[in-house]
Amino acid sequence: MAPHAMVPPNYFDVVRHIDDGKSSSVYHCRDVRESDPSAADVAIKFIPRGPETIDERVLREVLIVRKLQHKHIVRFREAHLNSRHLCLVFDYVPGGNLEQFVDSRGGTLPEHLARYFFQQLVLGMDFLHRVPPYGIMNRDLKLRNILVDDPTSEFPILSICDFGFGKERDPCVPTVSAVGTPFYFAPEILYRSSWEMRYDGKMTDIHGMGVILYKMLYGEFPEFNETGGETLEEKLLQLKVNTTKLDKSPPSLRALMLGLLEPVPSQRWSVDKVFKNEWFCLDLEEGSAALRQYNDAMLAQYNQWEDSRREVQSVERLKMMVNNARAEAL
C-alpha cells in the first residue's frame, strides 16, 4: 500500500512505511502532541475497516495488548478509528524484526547472541503465560513477530509484537482453532485428525520458542521424521526430531532443544525447566533466579498497574471502537 493511501489519525504524521503483515500495514509515525521528541515516535498498525478484516481476533488483540506491560513486549498506547482504518498505536521499535536481523547476519547467530535473545524471549513469554487471571497464549511466535531495538548494539533488546492470534487461556473456553505459521506449528496441531481437537496454546508457544532458538542457531527449521500411528497420541509418540545438528551442540543445549521440541505436549519442557537449564543460565551473572524475580515483581504489581490506567482508553471504549470498525470504510 502506498504511503499516501494511509490517512493517519488526527495528531499523527506519517514518517515511513515499515512492513505489511497478514492483514495490516505498519507505519512509523510521529505523535505531534508529544512535547518530549524522544517519545513522539510510534508504530501504527492500520487494519482496514470492514466485517472481513475486523473479526473477533482483532478485538482479542486489542484487549490483550491493552493488558500487557513488560520490557520484552511492545507497548500499546491507544487505538483510533478513522474513515478507513482501525489504527493501533504502539511504541516504535526502530531496529526491524528478528528475521531481518538474523538474515543480516548471514542466517545464523553465534551461540552467545542466540542465548541472549532466547533469554529475553523466555522472560517475555513467562510473563505472558502468567498474566492474570488465566495467562495469555501468543500462538504466533516467530522471528518476524519479535522486534529489535538497535541492531548495531552488542546487546540488542527484543520485544514481542503481534498478538493477532493471542488468546486468554480461559479454562471454560477450549482452544481448538489452528492458527499461526506452518513452519512454527507444533506437532499436536499438525497431526490433529479433526479441527475440533483441543490443544494447550501454552505448550504450542513452548514449541514455537524451540523453533525460534533452533532457527537462530542452525539457520533452518527443525525437521521431524515421517510418523505412522493411527491416533494423535500414537503419532506423537512415534515422532522424533532430527538430531544431526543437535548432536554437535553442547549436551545441555541439546537437552534444551529436545525438551522444547518434544512432540508429546505433556512431556514438553515447562518454562520452569528452561530456567534451570545449564546452557540457558550461562552468562547470567545472578543466574536465572533474577529473571524469575523480575517477572514475579511485575506480576505482583499487575493489579495496581491495571488500576492506575483508568485514564487510558477503557475496555468498553475499545470494544465499541472495534465494533464500529466492522462497518465498511466510509
Ligand X SMILES: Nc1ncnc2c1ncn2[C@@H]1O[C@H](COP(=O)(O)OP(=O)(O)O)[C@@H](O)[C@H]1O
Query: Which residues belong to the active site?
Result: 140
Residue 87 makes contact with ligand X by CB under 6 A? no
Cell numbers linked to 252: 545441555
Amino acid making up residue 195: W
Question: Pick from ligand X, Mg ion, none: which does 253 bind, CB < 5 to 8 A by kind?
Answer: none
Report how far apart the first and last C-alpha atoms of the chain are (Å, whole number): 18
CA distance 64 to 74: 12
CA distance 149 to 166: 23
Smallest distance, Å, CB 321 to ligand X?
18
Binding mask 8-27 for Mg ion (x = CB under 5 A): -------------x------
Residue 164 makes contact with ligand X by CB under 6 A? yes
Q: Which of 120, 123, 136, 162 binds ligand X (CB under 6 A)?
A: 162
CA angle 119, 141, 178 (to 5 degrees): 145
Q: Which of 25, 138, 145, 175 binds Mg ion (CB under 5 A)?
A: 145
User: How many contiguous H segments (helices) and E segments (strands) does the chain have?
Assistant: 12, 9
Q: Closest CB to Mg ion among 81 and 146?
A: 146
User: Cβ distance 210 to 257 under 8 Å?
Assistant: yes
Question: Pick from Mg ion, ligand X, none: which does 298 bind, CB < 5 to 8 A by kind?
Answer: none
Amino acid making up residue 84: R
Residue 19 makes contact with ligand X by CB under 6 A? yes
Longest distance between any two alpha carbons in the chain, whole Å = 63
Smallest distance, Å, CB 245 to Mg ion?
27
Cell numbers linked to 96: 526491524
Please choose, out of 1-9, 140-148, 196-204, 313-321, the segment that lies near ligand X by the rule CB under 6 A: 140-148
Residue 194: helix, strand or coil by DSSP? coil
Q: Which of 6, 93, 114, 281 binds ligand X (CB under 6 A)?
A: 93
Cell numbers linked to 302: 499487575
Question: Pick from Mg ion, ligand X, none: which does 19 bind, CB < 5 to 8 A by kind?
Answer: ligand X
Q: For residue 240, what are the CA distances in angstroms to 10, 186, 223, 243?
A: 54, 13, 9, 9
Q: Closest CB to Mg ion among 162 and 168?
A: 162
Residue 161 makes contact with ligand X by CB under 6 A? yes
Residue 50 makes contact with Mg ion by CB under 5 A? no
Q: Closest CB to ligand X among 17 and 273?
A: 17
Closest CA to 126 of 116, 114, 138: 138
Please choose, out of 17-25, 183-191, 281-289, 320-328, the segment that lies near ligand X by the rule CB under 6 A: 17-25
CA distance 11 to 325: 20
Q: Closest CB to ligand X among 93 and 125?
A: 93
Please choose, out of 156-164, 233-241, 243-251, 291-299, the segment that lies near ligand X by the rule CB under 6 A: 156-164
Helix axes 201-218, 251-260, angle to 10 degrees: 140
Residues in the interface with ligand X (CB under 6 A) total: 21
Residue 230, burial from CB neighbour count under 10 angstroms (0-12, 13-18, 19+): exposed
Residue number with the smallest Cβ distance to ligand X? 21
Residues 52-81 that bind ligand X (CB under 6 A): 74
Q: Closest CB to Mg ion among 81 and 98?
A: 98
The DSSP secondary structure of 203-249, one letter per residue, reads: HHHHHHHHHHHHHHHHSS---B-----SSHHHHHHH--B--TTGGGS
Q: Closest CB to ligand X among 103 and 272?
A: 103
Cell numbers linked to 113: 547472541
Residue number with the smallest Cβ distance to Mg ion? 162
Under the rule (CB under 6 A), what is the footprint of ligand X? 18-19, 21-24, 26, 43, 45, 74, 90-93, 97, 144-145, 147, 161-162, 164
**Which residues are at the interface with Mg ion (CB under 5 A)?**
21, 145, 162
